[in-house]
Amino acid sequence: MNGLVFANELLEQALHLVRRERRHPKQASLRRAVSTAYYALFHLLISESILNWKHTTHRPAIARHFQHALMMRASEATKKRLNADMARLKPASNEYNIAERLYEVAETFVRLYQDRLTADYDLSGSYEETKALTDVYRAVDAFKSWKIIRNEQNAQDYLLSLLIKDR
């Protein structure tokens, strides 16, 4: 199956789950929506990364090497670098807009990573409907931003950082 198609199907599934029960949404629906939104972004970024590999037969093997925690740390490092970049760029410039969109993608990955852990493993309290909606729509926005910047050098550098441990 095409990874980009799968990522989009996961995002669609997250939207369905978060809207499933209009009144009194079930915890299972809200929590699965957040988890599914995370996995949608996770698979989008992996799929985009492996598309850069020339030999298509190697792509599935490469995709299996991506690690959640490493991707989260790379996203944190990207956010930090982009904050510094945006501080020196003119807000109306194209470079600033690209950095801002990439920051949104990296920030969304970090938030969804953390929120997925809470949704999947912390049953000590109820998961709020507004929190689940916010998480899912952040993923929707990250997908939109990614589509705009996916071919930019900063975005391609980010993809590489998701797989290769920073030393």
What pLDDT shows up at residue 73? 97
pLDDT of residue 88: 94
Q: Encode 73-109: b = buried (16+ Cβ within 10 Å), e = exposed.
A: bbbeebbebbeebbeebeeeeeebbbbbbbbbbbbbb
pLDDT at 119: 97
Residue 87 is predicted with a pLDDT of: 95
**Ranges of the chain with pLDDT below 70:** 1, 167
pLDDT of 167 reads: 58
Indicate the pTM of the whole model: 0.95
Residue 165 to residue 142: CA distance in whole angstroms: 23
